[in-house]
């Protein structure tokens, strides 16, 4: 059992180790247990005591774990007893990388992700335009041209005929490419003479020089600047929808790319008692001075709402052709991707954030981008002082999708966390070899190699880029097969993880990435009572059945925030 050095986590082993209990002076009869979960198969996530049958909760925390009879004996007339009926209980999932409000909007706005042809894509936009008053923007969408029979970017000509009065900017699912119609381009002042911005690209017709409507990365900013901002009420509606969905799929904590409005809404919901999951709210690197001015550093806040992490982009995405590689793209040899910053500028902003005591989460997809970011972290630590001589910053690389063998050990050496979204692998492997070639694919989505190299890894989804449901990510990590099956044995099967490894990275690993491993990520006495009950035992079923597994109950801080259709007795 993991020990905490302060008195808060005094652990007593009672009854020959059959009950493990948070230290207190009261007898069992005086415990006033609020909730007991019994008749369960509890996977604790702790190597020393991996399994239990029951757990007792007092307030927000787990008081004891043990066998059914001993934990049940702790109940009194006021204790809520939940009979799990031999179902699997695991720590709540902690999604280490989400765009939560955007995910909420994806639940209530136009849906383009499952469009399978350009015609279907266009028809959905046409239907949306017909429902909206003239002048209303059409945004969102999360389309994926790689899922279409003709795997080509759409153009503005596809949607211009029926969007003459509706400006359009609909993004690809990775958020690094968007399609604008002619009206949106005109409002943004983008013409055939507009140069590419740093870190972005305006695709133009090779014959006419006119913009095609496809904008990559920073090129989208000009259009975003002329889109009327959504109201705070609309943001709140999206976040509330996202909270509801998160509870349904067993998410109890998120690490979120948050805007200022998002942070305000999280605080309001927390005061109202309606923030049903725990939030680590990141801020963009542009806000470093503001955080530093008021003395905010990593791990500022409470277990319910924290800030202190800054988000930085070093490159784009592989699907957009803007991830930064050492060598050109196999299918687009004129480019090796895009750098969001000049290298010396990236080093400077990371060094300054590190010196301010802030955690840095840097987006890096391509092999060159990952190398450059590792260099920047190493340089910052060398100039500001090593982890051993000051604080452990736990800087992160978000995605870490293509990492050379030479760079693998640097994650451990520098204490850099690899924040990975496994479901990207089984989505991108449909086209990755076409994009970067078979050789570089050996360096892609290196779950097992990073783990074997001693890296600390956190799992997430990048929702709404990928579905929020953790079952898809767990399936991806352990099979590396398409949801419909194949390739047989998995794509680069040497990188598959065991089920236990995948669950640990989605719980304990993600907690470590936000400095919270002492309070959550495993089911132990003294830790927060954040857990889920699943419809199937993941340890007993086939990998294919993981995708069929649903959440029966989600509990955060001892409070049930979701109950599915089940026969669980309460």
Q: Is the pLDDT of residue 326 over 60?
A: yes
Helices (H) and strands (E) in the chain, counts: 18, 27
- β-partners of residue 19 are 14, 66
Domain-terminating residue out of 472, 487, 513:
513
Residue 489 shares a structural domain with residue 535: no
SS3 of 136, please?
coil
Annotate 348-385 with three-state secondary structure.
HHHHHHHHCCCEEEEEECCHHHHHHHHHHHHHHHHHHC
396 three-class SS: strand
Percent of all residues in the chain with a pLDDT value above 70, rounded to a whole number: 93
Matching residue, tokens 């604008």: 180
- pLDDT for 150 equals 87
Residue with tokens 């509890």: 42
What would the pLDDT profile of 493-529 be if each residue is shown by its tens digit?
A: 999 999 999 999 999 999 999 999 999 999 999 999 9
507 and 534 in a single domain? The answer is: no
- Domain-located, residue 133: yes
pLDDT confidence of residue 19: 64
CATH number of the domain bearing residue 483: 3.20.20.140
Are residues 61 and 105 located together in one domain of the fold? no
pLDDT at 17 > cutoff 50: no
Q: What integer best gives the mean pLDDT of the chain? A: 93
The dihedral built from the CA positions of residue 485, 424, 217 and 378, taken in this order, carries a sign that is negative
pLDDT of residue 568: 67
Same domain? For 441 and 322 the reply is yes
How many Cα atoms within 13 Å fall on the side-chain side of residue 325? 25
Instruction: With a cut of 70, say whether residue 323 has pLDDT above it.
Output: yes
The domain boundary residue, chosen from 224, 241, 276 = 224
156: in domain: yes
Asked if the bond preceding 487 is cis, omega within 30° of 0, the reply is: yes
**Which tens digit of pLDDT belongs to each residue from 76-129?**
999 999 999 999 999 999 999 999 999 999 999 899 999 999 999 999 999 999
CB atoms < 10 A from the CB of 157, how many?
14
Q: Could you tell me if 361 and 488 lie in one domain?
A: yes
CA 196 to chain centre: 30
Contact (CB, 8 A) for 539 and 503: no
Give the confidence band of 569 by pLDDT, cuts at 50, 70, 90. low
User: pLDDT at position 20, please?
Assistant: 67
Question: Does one domain contain both 390 and 443?
Answer: yes
- The count of domains in the chain is 3
Q: Could you tell me the two tokens for 512?
A: 């470590």
Is the per-residue pLDDT at 71 higher than 60? yes
pLDDT of residue 16: 33
Give the domain extent around 409: 308-513
Query: Which residues on adjacent β-strands are paired with residue 309?
Result: 359
Could you tell me the pLDDT band of residue 232, with boundaries at 50, 70 and 90? Answer: very high
Please check whether residue 432 lies inside any domain of the structure. Answer: yes
Residue 108 maps to which CATH number? 3.10.310.70
Q: Residue 18 pLDDT more than 60? A: no
The reported pLDDT for the residue numbered 2 is 34
pLDDT at 559 over 50: yes
3-state helix/strand/coil string of 493-541: HHHCCCHHHHHHHHHHHHHHHCCCCCCCCCCCCCCECCEEEECCCCCCC
Name, in order, each residue with C-beta under 8 angstroms of 185's C-beta and a sequence gap of 6 or more. Answer: 156, 191, 211, 213, 223
Q: Are residues 447 and 356 in the same domain?
A: yes
Which CATH number goes with the domain that contains 68? 2.30.40.10
What is the DSSP annotation of 45-113?
S-SSS-EESEEEEETTEEEEEE-HHHHHTT--TT-EEEE-TT-EEEEPEEEEEE-HHHHHHHHHS-B-T
Dist. CA 97–CA 463, nearest whole Å: 8
Examine residue 194 and state whether it is found in any structural domain, yes or no. yes
Task: Identify whether 519 is part of a domain.
Answer: no
Cα separations in angstroms, 220 against 146, 211, 261, 269, 548: 20, 13, 21, 31, 38
Q: What global pTM score does this model have?
A: 0.89
**Half-sphere exposure (CA, 13 Å, Cβ side) for 400?**
33
**Would 267 be classed as within a structural domain?**
no
Say which DSSP state 402 is in. Answer: B
Checking if the pLDDT of 261 tops 70, the result is: yes
Q: Any idea what the Cα angle at residue 114 is, between residues 259 and 141, rounded to 5°? A: 30
On the question of pLDDT at 364 being above 50, the answer is: yes
Six token digits for residue 437: 């070639």
User: CB burial class (10 A; 0-12, 13-18, 19+) of residue 226?
Assistant: middle
Do 68 and 105 belong to one domain? no
pLDDT, residue 390, reads 74
CA distances, 263 to each of 129, 282, 302 (Å): 31, 9, 14
Q: Which of 173, 192, 224 is the last residue before a domain boundary?
A: 224
- Summarize the confidence of residues 447-471 as an average pLDDT: 97
Q: Per the domain annotation, does 238 fall within a domain? A: no
**CA-wise closest residue to 253 among 7, 460, 501:** 460
Q: Are residues 66 and 144 in the same domain?
A: no
CA distance 142 to 465: 7
Residue 255 above 90 pLDDT? yes
539 and 504 part of one domain: no
CA distance 243 to 300: 22
Q: Are residues 361 and 412 in the same domain?
A: yes
CB atoms within 10 A of CB 549: 20
Backbone angles phi, psi at 336, to 5 degrees: -115, 10
Mean pLDDT of 357-374: 98
Q: Which residue has the tokens 């340890």?
A: 539
Closest listed residue to residue 151, CA positions, set 115, 126, 118 = 118
In a domain, 281, yes or no: no
Q: 198 and 337: one domain?
A: no
């Amino acid at each position: 059992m993991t020990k905490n050095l302060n008195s808060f986590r005094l652990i007593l082993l009672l009854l020959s180790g059959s009950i493990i209990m948070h230290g207190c002076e009261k007898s069992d009869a005086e415990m006033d247990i609020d909730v007991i979960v019994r008749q369960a198969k509890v996977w604790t996530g702790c190597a020393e005591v991996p399994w239990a049958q029951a757990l007792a909760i007092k307030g927000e925390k787990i008081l004891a774990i043990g066998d059914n009879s001993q934990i049940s004996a702790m109940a009194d007339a006021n204790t809520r007893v939940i009979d799990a009926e031999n179902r699997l209980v695991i720590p709540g999932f902690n999604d280490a990388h989400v765009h939560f409000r955007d995910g909420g909007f994806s639940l209530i706005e136009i849906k383009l992700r499952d469009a399978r042809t350009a015609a279907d894509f266009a028809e959905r936009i046409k239907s949306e335009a017909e429902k909206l008053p003239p002048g209303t923007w059409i945004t969102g969408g999360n389309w994926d041209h790689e899922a279409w029979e003709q795997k080509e970017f759409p153009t503005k000509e596809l949607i211009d005929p029926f969007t003459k009065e509706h400006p359009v900017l609909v993004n690809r699912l990775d958020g690094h490419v968007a399609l604008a119609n002619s009206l949106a381009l005109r409002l943004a002042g983008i013409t055939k003479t507009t140069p590419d911005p740093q870190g972005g690209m305006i695709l133009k017709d090779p014959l006419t020089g006119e913009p095609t409507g496809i904008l990559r990365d920073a090129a989208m900013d000009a259009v975003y600047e002329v889109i009327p901002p959504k109201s705070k009420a609309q943001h709140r509606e999206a976040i509330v929808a996202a909270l509801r969905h998160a509870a349904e799929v067993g998410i109890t904590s998120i690490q979120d790319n948050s805007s200022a409005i998002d942070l305000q809404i999280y605080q309001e919901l927390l005061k109202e008692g309606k923030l049903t999951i725990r939030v680590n709210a990141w801020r963009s690197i542009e806000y470093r001075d503001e955080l530093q001015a008021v003395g905010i550093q990593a791990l500022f806040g409470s277990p319910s709402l924290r800030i202190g992490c800054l988000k930085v982009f070093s490159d784009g995405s592989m699907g957009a052709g803007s991830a930064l590689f050492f060598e050109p793209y196999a299918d687009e040899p004129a480019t090796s991707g895009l750098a969001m910053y000049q290298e010396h500028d990236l080093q400077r902003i990371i060094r300054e954030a590190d010196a301010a005591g802030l955690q840095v989460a840097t987006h890096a997809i391509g092999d060159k981008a990952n190398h450059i970011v590792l260099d920047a972290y190493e340089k910052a630590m060398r100039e500001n002082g090593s982890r051993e001589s000051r604080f452990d910053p736990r800087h992160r690389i978000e995605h870490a999708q293509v990492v050379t063998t030479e760079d693998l050990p640097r994650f451990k050496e520098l204490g850099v966390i690899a924040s990975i979204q496994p479901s990207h692998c089984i989505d991108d492997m449909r086209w990755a070899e076409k994009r970067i070639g078979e050789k570089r694919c050996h360096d892609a989505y290196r779950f097992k190699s990073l783990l074997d190299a001693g890296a600390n890894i956190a799992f997430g989804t990048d929702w709404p880029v990928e579905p929020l449901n953790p079952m898809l990510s767990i399936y991806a990590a352990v099979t590396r097969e398409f949801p419909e099956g194949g390739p047989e044995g998995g794509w680069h099967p040497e990188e598959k993880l065991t089920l236990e490894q995948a669950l640990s990275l989605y719980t304990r690993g993600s907690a470590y990435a936000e400095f919270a491993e002492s309070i959550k990520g495993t089911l132990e006495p003294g830790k927060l009572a954040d857990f889920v009950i699943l419809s199937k035992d993941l340890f007993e079923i086939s990998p294919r059945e993981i995708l069929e597994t649903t959440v029966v109950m989600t509990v955060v801080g001892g409070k049930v925030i979701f109950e599915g259709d089940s026969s669980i007795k309460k």
